Structure 1
Amino acid sequence: MKAVTVLSGGLDSTVATLIAKDLGYDLTAVIFNYGQKAAKREINSAKKICEILNIKPIVVDLPFVKQFKKSSLITDKEIPTLKIEELESEKVYETMKSVWVPARNLIMFSIASGFAEALDAKKVFIGINKEEGVTFPDNTIEFVNAFNKALEYGTLNKVKIEAPLYDKTKEEIVKIGHEIEKKLGVEVLKYTYSCYKDNGEDFLHCGKCESCIRRKRAFLMAGVEDKTKYIE
């Protein structure tokens, strides 16, 4: 069985990839460089994970996305910081608006679906989850269902997006990933990269952006050792 995984090198997409690997899929990972500040670190992380899991990586450059000139991820705008106690506040909506890249998931999932059809694979695994779905509309099962409806007409072999974590929190995702690591006899979570910034070193996280804060909280709540290197 062949499948494609959209692998950013982040925690969620890596655990979705682990799930697909555990299910026995012959995987190809599609990794995107859309001009994001952390592109180099994300790509290096994704490649490391592919190496460990014996997955073929394909890096796709999307230079035109920087022309959208909206998100703090692809412009000189400052990336917001948060405290753990602010993750349940209205401030997360401000952060979402700052880091939102227009149509990013639409673009990436469409391209990944094209690779899937070309590879004669019928599934594309993605890492959308319940926690981010609260603020990001393209991280919801409603988005996935609508996208899959379009794929019925947009692909001849009816490629389908699989979102195994859509109803899971980050805490649950860490637990699932840790269990599959033990089952497969691999260690990949420590090589994932969640930070919105490039901190000058592979796997080194700022520890202050929303993505880092969610990562910290997830490992803490899951009771799993966090081997991540944080600046703060």
Structure 2
Amino acid sequence: MKAVCVLSGGLDSTVSCLIAKDLGYDLVNITFNYGQKAAKREVNSAKKISEILNAEHVVIDLPFIKKFGKSALLTEKEPPKLDIEELDMRFRTIQTMEEVWVPARNLILFSIASGFAESIDADRVFVGLSGEEATTFPDNTPEFVERLNKALEYGTLNQVKIEAPLCNKNKQEIVKIGHEIEKKLGVEVLKYSYSCYKDNGEDFLHCGVCESCARRKRAFLGAGVKDKTKYIE
């Protein structure tokens, strides 16, 4: 029983990967390098996690995406920062979503992952979409997954299905789920996940002040799970 995981190395995709592992799938993890600032750290994080989970790891380069839009993930723009108390202010998170939005990114990545899955006779692609990010990112919603799966019924001969087991969970719940599976499987991978928007010059080292780092900090704190992440601030 084989499955593909889209593993950015981030918290959500790492827990999605853990869920697939716990379900008994033989995993092939894909990390996409599309020119994002943190690509090197994301790839190294995903490689480490894949080694721990005894999964094959594949890196796919998509340099053309860097030409899309003006996302702070792809340009010299400073990624958005939010204080923890701002994370639930919808007007602010809509603003920051627009700053980091990469046009059609998830649609492109998940389509490629689905084609890859078909090529290796896998019919499941696990992705790390979260309910918390779905409040502002339309391509994190259950509706997005449902409609993409409908297209995949026609776009793949083996009807590959996208599995988004966390799309109704906030990050606090995601940390709890990940921590429980870690204990069950006797592994430790959450500390090797990489959430930061930046490359801070060292593997697993987070800036601690970008919006993504703020969400990570809040998640571990709210879950009551020790945060072993290394932060600059």
TM-score range, shorter chain: over 0.9
1:149 aligns with 2:162: no
Show the 5 A alignment for 1:115-154. Answer: 115-154=116-155
CA distance in 1, matches of 2:198, 2:178: 23
- Are the equivalent residues in 1 in contact too, given 2:69–2:103 (CA < 8 A)? no
TM-score (norm. length: structure 2)? 0.99
- Are the equivalent residues in 2 in contact too, given 1:4–1:28 (CA < 8 A)? yes
The aligned counterpart of 1:70 is 70
- For structure 1, list consecutive stretches of 5 or more residues without a partner in the other structure: none
- AA in 2 matched with 1:45: S
The aligned counterpart of 1:224 is 225
- Are the equivalent residues in 2 in contact too, given 1:69–1:75 (CA < 8 A)? no
Show the 5 A alignment for 1:28-177. Answer: 28-89=28-89, 90-177=91-178
Q: Quote the offset at 1:183 in angstroms.
A: 0.3
- For structure 2, list consecutive stretches of 5 or more residues without a partner in the other structure: none
SS in 2 for 1:88: coil
SS in 1 for 2:115: helix
CA distance in 1, matches of 2:160, 2:13: 18
The aligned counterpart of 1:191 is 192
CA distance in 1, matches of 2:72, 2:232: 20
- Once superposed, what is the RMSD of the aligned Cα atoms? 0.5
CA distance in 2, matches of 1:88, 1:10: 20
The aligned counterpart of 1:201 is 202
CA distance in 1, matches of 2:69, 2:25: 37
Q: How high is the sequence identity, in percent, across the aligned residues?
A: 75
CA distance in 1, matches of 2:216, 2:16: 16
Give per-residue Cα distances to partners, 1:168-221, cap 9 Å, x unaligned: 110000000000000000000000000000001100001111110000000000
SS in 2 for 1:35: coil
The aligned counterpart of 2:216 is 215
Q: Quote the offset at 1:69 in angstroms.
A: 3.7
Q: Quote the offset at 1:18 in angstroms.
A: 0.2
- AA in 2 matched with 1:102: P
Across the two proteins, how many residue pairs are aligned to each other? 232
Give per-residue Cα distances to partners, 1:55-87, cap 9 Å, x unaligned: 001100000011114201001111111100000
CA distance in 2, matches of 1:94, 1:199: 24
The aligned counterpart of 2:19 is 19
